[in-house]
Amino acid sequence: MKQTSSLEQEYKDLMQQAAPDLWSRIEGNLSEHPERVLCQDEAEEKSTVPENKGYAYPTIYKWMAFGTAASIAAVFLLIIASPWFPTLFPVRKQMETDMEISGGVEAEAGMAPETTAAVYENTMAAQETAAVNEDSNSASVAPPVSAGVIRYSQLDLADYTSLPLPAQAVTLPEDTLYFSEDILGDTELLCLGTVTAVSLEAGSPQQPASLVYDIRLDSVCYSQDYTSDLESVTVKSPVIGAKGGDHQILYQLQAGSSYLLPLKKQADGWELLFPFAPQVQVTGNGSYLFHSGYTSLTDARTFVVIGDSEGANDFYYDRMLLREDEDFLSDFISLIMAYGSKDI
């Protein structure tokens, strides 16, 4: 309160000192307009207030000009005295600060002071141009995939191709059996293998068609029987038909691709343990692509893979995952042994 009273008193003193000089300057710049001075007769005709007879416009202008000037001076003094004055013009203040800094650097470097403004303007222009270029580039570049997500096209895999399916071929629906990890307890052979050939057995009207895979064994990871002499195996799988898609067969293994395959023994060879879902595929750099049904194999090192549907009945196209670590294989083997021991 004491500071406010002091400010008001200073303002009053200043106004008393400055008012005569202020008015003389204002009055000196005013132009006389005799046509605007009303005579007594005209005032009587145009004015309805008796006290206003003979009142002249220049006198009114004088008081209006004086009041306006006083108001402007008062506002200016309040702004100057306000503690918020330094923040009222932040852009200008920042420009002045930047120019002072730039001027100091130039002085140290032996540059002329008059180049400060030019340097500042060039810097601001460069920043604006960079911002415009960044906006235009961001509009034309697709947004990157978020952390932990990979596109199927980014994987080192061969393109998917399907064998032609005869119109009379009998196929099994994709929901014939639902996946559960405990089915791994029926695994008799787990191998890392590369598909060398793919063929189709059309079957009979009473028998579903079959896919026949010739697989070169790259490694035997788990076996219930002694199989050290195996170099290749023939694996059969029922055909799962695709609905409304570009391919006629769902989840077909690809020639030239490598897989981690849990197999079950049949009289004439081997069969896929669970053909109603994609098999675990090994990428060119040794990563493992698998579906989300393997919940026990999902950890913090797992990536989500964005792919395309093979058909309207493709349940797994948006449920594919990827692990790049060396522990995946041992985790898969441990899972087979854990479920296999429950049957003993």
Per-residue pLDDT of 220-241, as tens digits, reads 999 987 666 789 999 999 999 8
Q: How many CB atoms lie within 10 A of CB 217?
A: 16
In the block, which residue shows the tokens 């797994």?
A: 316
Please state, in angstroms and as integers, the Cα–Cα distance from residue 253 to each residue in 54, 158, 159, 163, following that order: 110, 11, 11, 10
Q: Which residues pair with 212 in a beta bridge?
A: 199, 236
Average pLDDT, the chain: 73
pLDDT value for 122: 45
pLDDT value for 15: 65
- Per-residue pLDDT at 186 exceeds 60: yes
Go through 185-196 and write b for each residue having 16 or more CB atoms within 10 A of its CB, e for each that does not: bebbbbbbbbbe
> Which of helix, strand or coil describes residue 221?
strand
* Residues whose CB falls within 8 Å of the CB of residue 64, separated by 6 or more in sequence, listed in order: none
pLDDT value for 166: 81
Please give the single-letter amino acid code of residue 187: T
Nearest partner of 314 among 246, 268, 261, judged by Cα: 246
Higher pLDDT, 48 or 321: 321
- Please answer whether residues 169 and 205 qualify as being in contact, where contact means their C-beta atoms are separated by less than 8 angstroms: no
pLDDT digits (tens, 9 = 90+) for 147-182: 799 999 999 998 888 888 887 888 899 999 999 999
Q: Is the pTM of this model over 0.85?
A: no
DSSP 64-78: HHHHHHHHHHHHHHH
Q: Provide the token pair at 167.
A: 């119109």
- DSSP letter, residue 194: E
Identify the H or E element spanning 104: helix 90-109
pLDDT value for 168: 80
Taking residues 329-337, report their average pLDDT: 96
Phi and psi at residue 305, in whole multiples of 5°? -110, 125
